[in-house]
Structure 1
Amino acid sequence: MTLGAEPNVPIRFDTKLQEAPVPIDRRGFLETAALALLSQATTPAFARDAHIADGAGRRVGVPAKVQRVLPAGPPAAILLYTAAPDVLIGWTRTPRPDEKAYLLPDAADKPEVGRITGRGNTANLEVVLSHKPDMIIDAGSTTQTYVELADRVQAQTNIPYALLDGKFDAIVATYRTLGQLIDREERCNKLATWCEQTMRTLRSRIDPIAADKRPRVYYARGPRGLETGLAGSINVETIDFLGATNVARGAPGGLAQVSLEQVLVWNPEVIVTLDKAFAESVLNDPAWASVDAVKARRVYLSPRLPFGWVDSPPSVNRMAGLWWLAKLLYPTLFPEDIGALTREFYALFYQVNLSDADVAKIMSG
């Protein structure tokens, strides 16, 4: 690689699987008066444009220069890397060596900075201030809970905090808003245009397909394949976008633990999974043998380098898997070379050029 430019079996929901904002400091977030003074002394004035609306409709003031941006969570870190790796302060989780191989070296080696939102929150007020960001960016839910968190963090640090819409079908608008916030409009508009054209092309071929001709899909997570994203969940948005029927149609949104009995009742035609162990075992597992997807050997392991193609985390990395998933679900409609499309995406978004060996490794999951 070179560098370059029926009776239903009840579903048991596990609320622990839901991502939710964690207060930035479990002790109440307000620190010492000294830290408050530090924030006033070291954070930028809102100078460039006080009227840029973020994904939640909040008016966010931005500094005259944006040179250091702190991501609030993993989706924001990936979004920022693709748009402007030079302004990304660091990662919410240090990339593994196999992930670093598909990122720009200087960016891949940036430090771990913790996270403000979601499970495993580690960034309290002192940590945030220690990184001296010009701005904080989050990408994900724009519900009132997250709006209140953004407002609170901004008020207590005096650091502009923008909340961007993380929904898959909002990615075009999100990139364009990000470009305005960090003064990288040309780059972000280029990425937005690629996403927009790709999504339009795929939907133009899929939309004419009758509902009863679209594949029934089960999204399997975990080594037993019994964690899934319910219809409407951010984890399965690309499956929904491509018009497939997600068989897990319980209460809307979120992740859930389900039983094997329920999967047998759903009887999906296609299984997409994140877990290599499950992908390797399910085709020879007698308990799954009656499932149509297993009988037809239509069980597909999602690529995951440097980030997941369907999920994990749900950010712009899902665009990498859109053509791949479309070809799996509708093989006769999409004759395009997935290797060439993968190279195109990685060169534009991750800014690395892939060899044939790189593509083969990525596609192996």
Structure 2
Amino acid sequence: MKKNLISPIVLILVVVVAAYLVIGQTSYPPLTGPISVVDALGRTVQVELPVDRVIITGKSAFPITSVAYMFSSARSVLYGLDQRTASVPLFRAVDPSIDAKTVSSDLGAGSDAPNVEELAKLNPDLVIFKTVVKLQVAESLESLGISVVYVDLENIDSYLRDVRLMGKLFGEEPRANKIAGYYEEKYRYVLSKTSSLPLSNRPRTLFLFYSVKGGTISFNAPGSRWLQTMMIEVAGGYPLSKELGGGGWNTVSFEQIAQWNPEIIFIVTYSDNPSPASVKENILHDPLWRDVAAVKEGRVYAVPDDSHLIAIGSWDTPNSRWILGQLWMAKKIQPTIFTELDLTAEVRQFYREMYGLDEVGAGEIMQQITGDL
């Protein structure tokens, strides 16, 4: 008899809980109507939701696109992409119809002053720029009734803030909170193991961008305020680039490198010709470098990259995969502290959870990765 009496009670509880969950789902802010947001420049911007036509362009637009594609609605509202962005394997896996979103007109992709006239012709609801794009461009577009929002994405705090901002713009705030939570969890995991390390336990680490721009070979190190410098410090190293000024790239001579005598060197080229791996091999076998500690110990590493297009897929830049670069650096700089960190599993989880790829899709992107994963 007791067994028969329990079943109706359980049934009532299930119905009540289900009804509560349905009501709870409706408690989210409405996804239609005007909203007011504060962008990375501190500007208050009015945006009408839902946004149906969104353009991301201008200088350093690729990090923004990499974040946008973590939101499912981006697949239907993004357009005006340049051909280079549309060729990224990860974006193509997430958005099979990406070719239809590209434009041949000159919107000023890569410029700090995108073409206002060409942008306006495409009649967007919203344009998203990186903070390096000139404010006059936004003002001109806004005078035409087009909303413009700036994002930064240059450090952990601005990354979390801007992910949540984009979640509001795409009408997916719960998703934005999940994305931000993932980044914060992984970042705090690394920091929790390295924050108390004394200077004596932090290997001298040098991040180098090998450039052949204009036919001139140069080695460049990031400034003290750049993401790469922060990543090395969080990963448990002493970033030699802390000794350089500000942001931007600083050309460094071999004499300076030899004086620093780094114990670890990370190499990027943002190119396949030459690739980071080939530059790494040249350094390891060049007699000029043989007395550098990192070369002696074989601790020269090519930074992983999953798209091989300028800096779009390199894991040190402020695109969505920088968090993978953070985990990777931690494993390379402090291997004994991060023995339990399974990078392959972390990377696979990232592509699945952040971009919604299935096991096969995640595996295909992983096969694209170059560098010393």
Give distance in 1, aligned partners of 2:254 and 2:333. Answer: 23
Q: Which moved more, 1:77-86 or 1:213-222?
A: 77-86
Matches within 5 A, 1:58-77: 58-72=43-57, 73-77=61-65
Identity of aligned residues (%): 26
TM-score (norm 1): 0.77
Aligned to 2:345: 340
Give distance in 2, aligned partners of 1:153 and 1:104. Answer: 33
Aligned to 1:88: 78
Per the alignment, do residues 176 and 357 of structure 1 end up closer, same or farther by CA in structure 2, a change over 3 Å counting?
A: closer
Aligned to 2:257: 263
2:159 is the alignment partner of 1:171: yes
Number of residue pairs aligned between Structure 1 and Structure 2: 313
Give distance in 2, aligned partners of 1:177 and 1:290. Answer: 48
Per the alignment, do residues 272 and 260 of structure 1 end up closer, same or farther by CA in structure 2, a change over 3 Å counting?
A: same
Deviations along 1:183-233, one digit per CA (max 9) or x if unpaired, are 111221111110111111111111121122112111111255612212212
C-alpha deviation, 1:333, in angstroms: 1.5
Contact 1:140–1:166 under 8 Å retained in 2: no
Per the alignment, do residues 102 and 51 of structure 1 end up closer, same or farther by CA in structure 2, a change over 3 Å counting?
A: closer
2:313 is the alignment partner of 1:323: no
Give distance in 2, aligned partners of 1:101 and 1:124. Answer: 24
Higher relative CO (CA 8 A, sep ≥ 6), structure 1 or 2? 1
Structure 1 counterpart of 2:38, one-letter code: A
Aligned to 2:179: 191
Contact 2:190–2:235 under 8 Å retained in 1: yes
Q: For 1:316, what is the secondary structure of its paired residue?
A: coil
C-alpha deviation, 1:309, in angstroms: 4.0
Contact 1:115–1:121 under 8 Å retained in 2: no
Per the alignment, do residues 362 and 258 of structure 1 end up closer, same or farther by CA in structure 2, a change over 3 Å counting?
A: same
2:217 is the alignment partner of 1:213: no
* Higher share of residues assigned helix: 2
Contact 1:238–1:310 under 8 Å retained in 2: no
Give distance in 2, aligned partners of 1:326 and 1:241. Answer: 8
2:353 is the alignment partner of 1:362: no
Give distance in 2, aligned partners of 1:101 and 1:137. Answer: 18
Per the alignment, do residues 151 and 361 of structure 1 end up closer, same or farther by CA in structure 2, a change over 3 Å counting?
A: closer
Matches within 5 A, 1:111-190: 111-112=102-103, 119-120=110-111, 123-140=114-131, 146=134, 148-149=135-136, 151-169=138-156, 170-190=158-178
Query: Gaps (5+ residues) in structure 2?
Result: 1-31, 212-216, 270-275
Contact 1:302–1:308 under 8 Å retained in 2: no
Give distance in 2, aligned partners of 1:74 and 1:323. Answer: 21
TM-score (norm 2): 0.75
Aligned to 1:287: 288
Q: For 1:200, what is the secondary structure of its paired residue?
A: helix
